[in-house]
Structure 1
Amino acid sequence: LPTYRIEPPDILVIEAVNMVPKPPYKLRAMDVLHISALGTIAEYPIDGEYAIEPGGRVNLGIPYGQVKVAGLTVDEAREAILKHLAKTLTSPDVQVKLLQAAGLQPIAGEHLVTPDGHVNLGTYGLVSVVGLTIPEAKAAIEKHLEKYLQDPEVSVDVWAYNSKVYYVVTEGAGLGDTITRLPVTGNETVLDAIANVNGITEVSSKRIWIARPSPYCDEVQILPVDYKAITAQGQTVTNYQILPGDRVFIAEDKRVAFDTDLGKLLAPFERIMGFSILTVGTLSRFSGKVLYNPNQRGGFGGFGGF
């Protein structure tokens, strides 16, 4: 198969791997910081994750207390914590890193490719991904997020291959054709296509072929399928791989089609003859009762003496 290109209405799974706001970012409540300090009391180390509380303070625990960091940048928060610890410690050293920004909208889960070829990333806006491969879509999304984040990184995969399909056309021998639309996942063969429609029907023949679209409008590409070979004999020569846009055509049984056509041709005459026979029978039944006279003794018209 050719390299898969994204089209509507595919569904993509987009997960943010690295989401760091562009500097200078002002810390806010519910942000999570990683704080590590040297020169602390051995029994009370400072090394771990600390969430900024609703009041804008980070709690370093006993005996260090709380430090207000909301509204500060990461570097300013480091200086504030260092200044606070210097009141009780000798020559402390502090490192502060932003682990999670509560104000950033997360990017995770399934994203439907809209009819105009975009994915909606919420507050980050729309990104066009139509016609792109998965690596190209990843690069396009990361480039778009650079407007809001520092060195963003995302993972992209296709969750539902909805845009690439093939068709199984079952000719109905004069009773109406059946067309089944099925998604292409990459490894379907003719046998898989027939199995997906529960085999051939009682009005079908074993004449099967693939009608494959051609880039030239005046050309037709037909790939004949040997049904007995791919089923009873296990041969793979004509068990072609299905490509997007293929039509697997299952031809009708000509004898069943002839019987159907003959039935359609004779049905009006049968109805006319049936109606005629019914009419004659009804008239005969009623006329017999009218002409019959139980009091008639002889002669014409029921008058005796002739």
Structure 2
Amino acid sequence: MVSYRLIKKNGDPQNDFKKIIDYLLTFPGEVTIERLNDKSIIIAYSETTMVAGLKIDRSGDLVLACDDNDEVSVNLLKNITGKISRRIYNTRTQSFLVNDPNLLEATLNHTDKKLLAIIRDFSLTPLFFYRNSYTFFAKDKKGIIYLINQDLLRFLSLQPEKKVSKTDFCIPVAHDIGHFTALFDRGLMPLSFYRHKENPINVYNFNGLSINPFKESVVVEPIYFHLDLEKQSFIQGNSPSGIEIKRGQSLLQALKLEDYLAVKIGQEIYFEKRHGKLIPKLTISIFLNS
């Protein structure tokens, strides 16, 4: 069994418990509810023998207990927890669940055991994988999170006798599970091994303008986000007024960025009149470690 805590800093747990029950009751014939008391229910499904339990504990958190191989219950609750401002915390991985329902725990029984064994051969613990793919994330003994080389993993599953180096097999993408969750939910977690290897500076440019260096003068409006490691999320900070970057300068040098986790350059390009002419204006999100 694995336990998930549905966490909310302030609120009415009994009211949230009722809202979850009301939501589950919208699936007649597929989901059935057995009320044990006013703080505890059993959830059952028509197409599987698995059951899950949901209760309010003494701390006011809602706790979901389900089978190790049950991905239905937790994904079902993810559809309602966001609407009641609760986040789901996995006690096994010690992390909040990411928003993407296609990122699954590598411990699920239907995960290919051969692939897990290959990852463990590199002294890594498999954590997550993308549904129906070879995209895996794993951690080392220090807690650093790695992206596995999807193509090499597939190759080794067919030719396990081949020897490869660890640097070719995986690449670090997050300092720890907290950083991983925060970055993933912002769309800042690389999913392609080779693309990340070519762009290890974690600058994501969605508009196509050359930025290293800029081939024309631009105005940038930076928005700073600070990591809250306890909440495993980013909190928006200050937003300075537009900064002009001259042609030939690079983004990181112009903004004097060093201790950052990622930079996202928005897709939309605006324009601002400076020095008698219109120049591009970009919105840039900068994600900091603290």
Fold conserved between structures, TM > 0.5 = no
Q: Highest Rg: 1 or 2?
A: 1
User: TM-score, normalization: structure 1?
Assistant: 0.23
Asked which structure has the greater RCO (Cα within 8 Å, sep 6+), the reply is: 1
- Name the one with the larger strand percent: 2
